[in-house]
Amino acid sequence: MLSILIFFFCFPSVVFSISNCKKIDLPLTAVGPESSTFDSWGQGPYTAISDGRVVKYNGPGVGYVDYVITSPFRSKRECDGTNNPELWPKCGRPIGIAFYFLKNQLFIADAYRGLLVAGPNERLATQIATSAEGLPFKFLDGLDVDQLTGNVYFTDASSVYTLRQFAQAVAANDASGRLLKYDPKTGQVTVLQRGLSGAAGVAVSLDSSYVLVTEYIANRIQKFWLRGPKANTSEILVTLEGRPDNIKRTPAGNFLVAVTIQNASTQTIVATAVTINGVGNIRQSVSLGPPYDNTSISEVLKFRHSYYIGSLMADFLGVCN
């Protein structure tokens, strides 16, 4: 068991707390459980890892089992357990994942293979989009599925830099990212926003009226209206102290954001989970201690009574009550 150091900032109410944490070690030498999800029956977690697999955790004693791969060029001998970025174009590098519960389809944003989908019992995901408006995807990142409409919202972090080059994108203050929508009824991909600075996580509101997208490089979250009098317009919702990655809606309709904050005095990284509501009010900020000391996190997902914490740097998925 692990401990998490919790620092409650001055907010009026307790939105969530994290304690009683444990590691679920990844298979072999793989790292980077960027994003996690659960299926229509509440089974999982499923998580996307560095060697090109989406794996499913079947509980203690069983551990992870292979669920789906994203590349037809992948070989188990060469790819299983790899952390080699040079192999990602061949092995695949799934990042954002989410199920469409009605059909139990898993949608995947792969940094090198584009947008994919896998139905039940399919072991190789089907590639359904690799570009939008004639511009190829460079680095797909976050993904969410609107359970009311079946539409898939996802991000292309940059139109210039790949995942392997993202440090360069940050240094250059790249602002070529896009927010996109895939309509499964028509098979069409629509660009909703352009000029995003490190488009990362995406989350649809409970009533499907808007979608939130994080800008990792710009340290902020934008709100894009899908319906109502502001439909097809966007606004800056909130600017954060650190760099936001994935954003996930909670069952209550708030949003959990994984934020990496640089401590100015010590130059260390403070992994932080931030709760916001739909109008941009920060409800709570929680700094995570061990095992995330000086380690960035990519996601905080609430499912039932637990929190699942992802990190591109970790060789485990953190689970806290």
Give residue-wise pLDDT tens across range 15-27: 455 667 789 999 9
Distance, CA of 145 to CA of 181 (rounded, Å): 10
Distance, CA of 315 to CA of 168 (rounded, Å): 24
Query: Is-contact 116 130, C-beta < 8 A?
Result: no
Distance, CA of 85 to CA of 42 (rounded, Å): 32
Query: Is-contact 257 201, C-beta < 8 A?
Result: yes
Peptide bond into 89 cis (omega under 30): no
Domain boundaries defined on the chain: 22-320
For the record, the structure tokens of 188 come out as 């069409």
Distance, CA of 271 to CA of 18 (rounded, Å): 13
Query: Is-contact 235 299, C-beta < 8 A?
Result: no
According to the model, what pLDDT value does residue 19 have? 60
Distance, CA of 143 to CA of 115 (rounded, Å): 9
What amino acid is encoded at 291 in this protein? P
Task: Give 205-222 pLDDT, tens digit per residue.
Answer: 999 999 999 999 999 999
- Cα atoms in the Cβ-side hemisphere of radius 13 Å centred on 37: 28
According to the model, what pLDDT value does residue 6 have? 34
Residue 215: which of 162, 155, 301, 266 has the closest Cα?
Answer: 155
Cα 72 → chain centroid: 23
Q: Which is it for the CA torsion 258, 263, 264, 268, positive or negative?
A: negative
| Number of CB atoms found within 10 A of residue 233's CB | 11
The length of the chain, given as a count of residues: 321
Q: CATH number of the domain at 22-320, out of 1.10.760.10, 3.90.1150.10, 3.40.50.720, 2.120.10.30? A: 2.120.10.30
SS3 259: strand
- The C-alpha angle with vertex 202 and arms to 274 and 173, in degrees rounded to 5, equals 85
| Number of CB atoms found within 10 A of residue 268's CB | 12
Query: Is-contact 316 19, C-beta < 8 A?
Result: no
* Mean pLDDT of all residues belonging to the chain: 93
Task: Give 281-321 pLDDT, tens digit per residue.
Answer: 999 999 887 788 888 999 999 999 899 999 999 999 999 87
According to the model, what pLDDT value does residue 18 have? 63
DSSP state of 26: P
- Residues of the chain predicted below pLDDT 70: 1-19
Distance, CA of 302 to CA of 188 (rounded, Å): 31
According to the model, what pLDDT value does residue 16 have? 52
